[in-house]
Amino acid sequence: MGIYEELEWRGLIKDISSPELREKLNAGGMTFYIGTDPTGDSLHIGHFSSFLISKRLKDAGHNPILLVGGGTGLIGDPKPDSERPMVTKEEVQHNFDCLKKQAQKLFGFEVVNNYDWYKDINFIDFLRDYGKYFNINYMLNKDIVRRRLDAGITYTEFSYMLMQAMDFWWLHENKDCTLQVAGQDQWGNITAGIELIRKKTGQEAYGFTMPLLTKSDGTKFGKTNGHAIWLDINKTSAYEMYQFFINSEDSKVIDYLKFLTFLSREEIEALEEKNRTEPHLREAHKALAKAVITFIHGEEAYNTAVKIAQTLFGGNLKDLTVDELKQGIADMPRFTVTDEQPLVEVLVTTGIAKSKRESREWISGGSIMVNGEKITDPMTPISRSQAFNQEFTILRKGKKNYFVCDFQ
């Protein structure tokens, strides 16, 4: 099975510019690029799904270039419903430096910055050397532009298409790049670049897009509790990432395995069967979490995430270090309590229990654990001296409901 057929099986090809690209991809030897704007100081799991396709192509004999758009990032790709807020040059440069370091560590690709070729172009040259190749009717017909016409679109946003086309042309002329790969929402920008290269050089360039990774309701994959899943371990811990993948939708987990891992077709089909016949074992989810976390953060971080998960759901909390506990409690509900406050009052003042009567029933019935130990005396004080690192106390109600108490 050639690389094109593998990408097709994994569901990673949405649009393709030319039928002959199939043979070219299978033959190897193409220089291609994939880009992102530095809108943040870390890549997230959505970027990861896109950049993995670059590694697949590299392993198949192609030459990848990662473009981090220090120039286009100052303009902003048009959103479907509103204009992006402008960011400062200093912020864009900071984000570029962070993304470059992160991407090179993860993937080892050559990283380029389109600000390097934009900074010396004046407005007259821009119009004469590039603007004249774009027909306004052609640009208005692009999906993202057409969707914004009723609400209004600024000339700045409208020009973004030209800038991305210029990127493809510049890389074609200076890096012998003949292929652009991107998410399906970039199809209009890719074809604009192909047209610019054809008109300025008479040569053929190619492009294909991959489907956006989504949840079953159509929303973007990669967020939990409204927060993105970042590749920077200081922004999203390995444990938080583990929980995200373990809790993936059963109906989508096989798609995620195809998009986000290098597991073989045979391995994925075996996991698909297990997911169908024994979904309670969550074998596919565990394989997904292991593959992604190990690739991004290494085996040690993955093992730590598993240790935290297993301990929180049945082990001894004292087996975890304070740092491991802090990973585990990051998304738990938190309350501030008074030192030496009785447990029966803590449950009520925090809202965990509706009344003292309910609180006493839970405690005397053995439903409440404090720092991993079952407490049956309602008047047991919750004290800073007994807290982990004298910072926080962990309450558990039943088997799965955790709460964190910080002290005033």
Q: Which residues does the annotation place in the binding site for ATP?
A: 223
Annotated binding site for L-tyrosine: 33, 160, 164
Q: Count CB-CB contacts under 10 A for residue 330.
A: 14
User: Which of 103, 76, 77, 73 lies closest to 89, judged by CA?
Assistant: 73
Annotated binding site: 33, 160, 164, 223
- In what helix (H) or strand (E) does residue 113 lie, and over which residues does it extend? strand 110-113
Quote the tokens at residue 289: 């979490």
Contact 29, 82 (CB under 8 A): no
Quote the tokens at residue 201: 């050089």
| The residue to which tokens 């042309």 are assigned | 169
Quick check: helix, strand or coil at residue 63?
strand
Q: Facing residues of 113 across strands?
A: 68
* DSSP conformation class of 214: B
- Alpha-carbon gap, residue 90 to 100, rounded angstroms: 15
Q: Count CB-CB contacts under 10 A for residue 315.
A: 14
DSSP result, 287-347? HHHHHHHHHHH-HHHHHHHHHHHHHHTTS-GGGS-HHHHHHHHTTS-EEEE-TTEEHHHHH
| C-alpha radius of gyration, the chain, whole number | 26
Contact 61, 28 (CB under 8 A): yes
- Alpha-carbon gap, residue 372 to 396, rounded angstroms: 8
CA of 389: how far to CAs of 216, 393, 394, in Å?
Answer: 42, 9, 12
- Alpha-carbon gap, residue 102 to 105, rounded angstroms: 5
- Alpha-carbon gap, residue 230 to 241, rounded angstroms: 8
